[in-house]
């Protein structure tokens, strides 16, 4: 019989918790999941191998004559590269098409989020909703000129402040037009340093309208259209700029206007923020439109009373992914974890509801939720799940508070349905978050000069060696948080101040790097001295992934403050995404590169199968934009590539000697026992 010849079913391979994450709470919860025989992403990562050809970027499935796969010969390309698909597409064409389709995906995600924010802002301006308001009129006045909106009016020869509602309406209409206007270029490009604008002009990459650049990528990568990797990348650069200086930046600004511009506040991070005797609601995804209302609803007396009625001590809100960062930076709501911890929050058995909107949400959450009492609630019309246990409550910004209360009430009602098996890891860490372009100016600006004087001065005198942006995701193919933390620690040890966003920021928070005290423990002497004097952490949390636009503007402010060159590409600065996984990361990486930043990714890049295209990204781009791509999986080498670039820029600015002097001074003082 056939059955008799079958090998006995093998037990599925399981992840080794110590190999899967550096975080103790995560390790504990992976073990817990395995005891309960609940499979997580960590287990799937050891049972399923990634496709080797896809990884190299050279599988094309853009038409039904394929998929065409162009693996690199074992000993590399000797002589002419004759690989081609059925239509003749070369490895460069295929890799470039795949690459810019990732940019299109990422730019679309960020920009559609931005569009939702702009649409809500328009309903605020039109007074169609009472649940959202203008919390930061000063920011609205500050951005209005970029939209061509006057902020003053002349009355009888006197200049007066224009009515804020009028400004709001004009800004909202002008902002929404950025997605689909005919003619012209994106308005926010004007915010970039002039030499950068000139580079974009010369390269022909100034985005026209946000949607248009994304659609054009889909067209140009269709079978038989653009078959020149350089021309394809030109459009990739243009669409990425439509994300960074367009959709993302508009999203960040209008979120600040409606929900408040972040300023530093204290909070905590990691799964240990969940409380056994509280109703635990985890919000996960990206758009603060929903989560802002959930925060307000769960703080309302009505809901708190209701929770007590049901036997809970209160309502504990926590975030995962960028939603976490949004409500952290504005309300101090603690993140429960990064991207890779989403399943684990449910496995605590204490998650009464997980509320999700868009992006980075595992479909497997539904399978995990099935094993517990947890209500998994999708809220966005474009993001549903097929599993039957998922509840869809569509969130309408016109009835925002009503919808939010319904969700919170559902979580409270679910509190009593918990099973016996609750296990919340104890680990959580203190952190300070909520830095922005404005608050950096406040902390590191000059007393009499409203700019980045103190920061620039400390870079010029060498106490701060340079600036790094460390951002992005987790990836189950690499050890959770390991690269983020090693890279950030190595940078601050070498006096490089770190700006962080996204899941990298949550990882830094979990590790205790977002506290002023971290300076004394982990920093080189120069950076430690600055942080201690000013009272800031050496790693500054700038928000969510759309808030990478804050890093672009912070870099622009540094250029403006003077003494460090004329353009972003002159700055002793570098970017990094140590554990990236999302298409959004590629879009972000490309807009940093196209804005003049040397950008290093960890793990791997899907370009290895097309060496000529790879060189174009890793070498030639620098001549065009001043920034270029690089990839280094080893965290320490990764950090040192960034530091080497920073030192190269310091030398070009002629400020390399200053640093040597500072270090000598410090050694002298230490020798004298003064430090």
Taking CA atoms, 262 is separated from 39, 375, 501, in Å, by: 38, 31, 13
- Find, among 116, 127, 124, 434, the residue nearest to 260 by Cα: 434
Q: Which stretch binds ligand SF4 (CB under 6 A): 62-70, 116-124, 440-448, 618-626?
A: 62-70
Nearest distance from C-beta of residue 71 to ligand SF4, angstroms: 13
Question: One symbol per residue from 492 to 521: x for binding ligand SF4 (CB under 6 A), - otherwise; what is it?
Answer: ------------------------------
DSSP 437-450: HHHHHHHHS-SSSS
Contacts of 666 (CB under 8 A, 6+ apart): 525, 526, 675
Cβ atoms of residues 466 and 530 within 8 Å:
no
Nearest distance from C-beta of residue 522 to ligand XCC, angstroms: 22
Q: Which helix (H) or strand (E) holds 646?
A: helix 635-653
Helix (H, G, I), strand (E, B) or coil at 640: helix
Nearest distance from C-beta of residue 149 to ligand SF4, angstroms: 46
Would you count residue 528 as binding ligand XCC (CB under 6 A)? Answer: no
CA pair distance 437, 357, nearest whole angstrom: 27
DSSP 474-518: --TTS-BTHHHHHHHHHHHHTTEEEEE-HHHHHHHHHTT-SSTHH
Would you count residue 53 as binding ligand SF4 (CB under 6 A)? Answer: no
**Of these, 25, 38, 60, 561, which contacts ligand SF4 (CB under 6 A)?**
60
Would you count residue 222 as binding ligand SF4 (CB under 6 A)? Answer: no
Question: One symbol per residue from 330 to 359: x for binding ligand XCC (CB under 6 A), - otherwise; what is it?
Answer: ---------x--------------------
Nearest distance from C-beta of residue 652 to ligand XCC, angstroms: 32
Which CB, 94 or 322, lies closer to ligand SF4?
94
Cβ atoms of residues 579 and 272 within 8 Å:
no
Which CB, 69 or 486, lies closer to ligand SF4?
69
β pairing state of 158-161 and 152-155: antiparallel
Q: Which does 87 bind (CB under 5 to 8 A by kind): ligand XCC, ligand SF4, none?
A: ligand SF4
Q: Number of residues in contact with ligand SF4, rule: CB under 6 A?
A: 14
CA pair distance 484, 131, nearest whole angstrom: 38
Nearest distance from C-beta of residue 486 to ligand XCC, angstroms: 18
Q: Please, what is the end-to-end C-alpha distance for the chain in angstroms?
A: 81
Which CB, 67 or 520, lies closer to ligand SF4?
67
Q: Number of residues in contact with ligand XCC, rule: CB under 6 A?
A: 12
Question: One symbol per residue from 400 to 429: x for binding ligand SF4 (CB under 6 A), - otherwise; what is it?
Answer: ------------------------------
Q: Which helix (H) or strand (E) holds 176?
A: helix 164-180
Which CB, 359 or 414, lies closer to ligand XCC?
359
Helix (H, G, I), strand (E, B) or coil at 541: strand
Which CB, 58 or 542, lies closer to ligand SF4?
58
Would you count residue 290 as binding ligand XCC (CB under 6 A)? Answer: no
Would you count residue 568 as binding ligand XCC (CB under 6 A)? Answer: no
The 3 state secondary structure assigned to 247-285 is HHHHHHHHHHHHHCCCCCEEEEECHHHCCCCCEEEEEEC
Would you count residue 609 as binding ligand SF4 (CB under 6 A)? Answer: no
Q: Which does 361 bind (CB under 5 to 8 A by kind): ligand XCC, ligand SF4, none?
A: none
Would you count residue 223 as binding ligand SF4 (CB under 6 A)? Answer: yes
How many Å separate Cα 662 from the centre of its chain? 34
3-state helix, strand, coil in the chain (%, to 5): 50, 10, 35
Residue closest to ligand XCC (Cβ): 473
Q: Which does 322 bind (CB under 5 to 8 A by kind): ligand SF4, ligand XCC, none?
A: ligand XCC
Q: Which stretch binds ligand SF4 (CB under 6 A): 58-66, 309-317, 421-429, 553-561?
A: 58-66
Q: Which does 46 bind (CB under 5 to 8 A by kind): ligand SF4, ligand XCC, none?
A: none
Which CB, 467 or 503, lies closer to ligand XCC?
503
Would you count residue 636 as binding ligand SF4 (CB under 6 A)? Answer: no
Which CB, 304 or 344, lies closer to ligand XCC?
344
Q: Which does 649 bind (CB under 5 to 8 A by kind): ligand XCC, ligand SF4, none?
A: none
Nearest distance from C-beta of residue 233 to ligand SF4, angstroms: 18
Would you count residue 147 as binding ligand XCC (CB under 6 A)? Answer: no
Burial 103-115 (b: 16+ CB within 10 A, else e): bbbbbbbbbbbbb
Q: By CB under 6 A, what part of segment 419-478 binds ligand XCC?
A: 472-473
Would you count residue 91 as binding ligand SF4 (CB under 6 A)? Answer: no
CA pair distance 639, 221, nearest whole angstrom: 34
CA pair distance 41, 49, nearest whole angstrom: 13
Helix (H, G, I), strand (E, B) or coil at 111: helix
Contacts of 144 (CB under 8 A, 6+ apart): 150, 151, 167, 170, 171
Binding site for ligand XCC (CB under 6 A): 286, 321-322, 339, 360, 472-473, 502-503, 545, 582, 584
Binding site for ligand SF4 (CB under 6 A): 60-63, 65-68, 85-87, 89, 94, 223
């Amino acid at each position: 019989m056939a059955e008799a010849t079958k090998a006995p079913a093998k037990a599925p391979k399981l992840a080794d918790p110590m190999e899967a994450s550096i975080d103790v709470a995560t390790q504990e919860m992976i073990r817990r999941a395995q005891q309960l025989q609940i499979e997580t992403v960590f287990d799937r990562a050891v049972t399923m191998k990634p496709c080797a050809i896809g990884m190299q970027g050279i599988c094309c499935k853009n038409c039904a004559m394929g998929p065409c796969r162009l693996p690199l010969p074992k000993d590399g390309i000797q002589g002419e590269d004759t690989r081609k698909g059925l239509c003749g597409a070369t490895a460069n064409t295929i890799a470039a098409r795949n690459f810019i389709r990732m940019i299109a995906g990422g730019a679309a995600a960020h920009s559609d989020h931005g569009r939702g924010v702009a649409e809500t802002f328009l309903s605020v301006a039109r007074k169609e909703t009472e649940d959202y308001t203008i919390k930061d009129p000063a920011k609205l006045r500050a951005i209005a000129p970029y939209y061509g909106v006057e902020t003053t009016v002349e009355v009888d020869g006197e200049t007066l402040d224009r009515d804020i509602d009028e400004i709001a309406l004009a800004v909202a209409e002008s902002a929404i037009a950025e997605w689909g206007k005919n003619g012209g270029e994106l308005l926010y490009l004007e915010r970039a340093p002039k030499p950068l604008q000139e580079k974009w002009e010369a390269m022909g990459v100034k985005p026209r309208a946000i949607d248009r650049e994304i659609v054009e990528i889909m067209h140009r990568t269709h079978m038989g259209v653009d078959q020149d990797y350089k021309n394809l990348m030109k459009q990739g650069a243009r669409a990425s700029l439509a994300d960074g200086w367009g959709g993302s930046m508009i999203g960040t600004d209008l979120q600040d206007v409606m929900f408040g511009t972040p300023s530093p506040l204290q909070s905590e991070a990691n799964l240990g923020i969940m409380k056994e005797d509280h109703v635990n609601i985890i919000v996960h995804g990206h758009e603060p439109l929903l989560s802002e209302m959930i925060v307000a609803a769960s703080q309302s007396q009505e809901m708190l009373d209701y929770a007590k009625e049901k036997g809970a001590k209160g309502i504990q809100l926590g975030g995962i992914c960028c939603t976490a960062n949004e409500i952290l930076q504005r309300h101090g709501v603690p993140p429960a974890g990064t991207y890779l911890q989403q399943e684990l929050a449910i496995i605590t058995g204490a998650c009464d509801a997980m509320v999700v909107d868009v992006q980075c949400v595992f479909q497997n959450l539904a399978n995990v939720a099935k094993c517990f009492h947890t209500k998994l609630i999708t809220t966005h019309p474009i993001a549903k799940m097929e599993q039957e246990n998922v509840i869809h409550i569509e969130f309408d910004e016109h009835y925002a508070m009503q919808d939010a209360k319904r969700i919170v009430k559902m979580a409270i009602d679910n509190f009593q349905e918990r099973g016996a098996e609750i296990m919340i890891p104890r680990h959580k860490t203190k952190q300070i978050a909520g830095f922005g372009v404005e608050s950096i100016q406040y902390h590191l600006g000059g007393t009499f000069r409203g700019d980045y004087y103190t920061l620039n001065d400390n870079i010029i005198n060498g106490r701060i060696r340079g600036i790094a942006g460390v951002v992005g995701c987790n990836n189950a193919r690499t050890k959770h948080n390991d690269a983020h933390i090693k890279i950030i620690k190595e940078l601050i040890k070498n006096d490089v101040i770190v700006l962080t966003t996204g899941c990298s920021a949550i990882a830094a928070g979990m590790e205790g790097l977002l506290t002023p005290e971290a300076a004394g423990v982990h920093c080189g002497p120069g950076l430690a001295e600055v942080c201690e004097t000013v009272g800031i952490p050496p790693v500054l949390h700038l928000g969510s992934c759309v808030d990478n636009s804050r890093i672009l503007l912070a870099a622009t402010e540094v250029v403006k403050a003077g003494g460090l060159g004329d353009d972003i590409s002159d700055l002793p600065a570098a970017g990094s995404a140590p554990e990236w996984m999302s298409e959004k990361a590629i879009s972000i990486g490309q807009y940093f590169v196209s804005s003049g930043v040397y950008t290093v990714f960890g793990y791997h890049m899907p370009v290895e199968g097309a060496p000529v295209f790879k060189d174009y990204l890793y070498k030639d781009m620098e001549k065009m934009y001043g920034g270029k791509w690089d990839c280094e999986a080893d965290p320490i080498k990764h950090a040192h590539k960034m530091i080497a670039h920073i030192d190269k820029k310091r030398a070009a600015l002629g400020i390399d000697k200053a640093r040597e002097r500072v270090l000598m001074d410090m050694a002298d003082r230490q020798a004298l026992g003064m430090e």
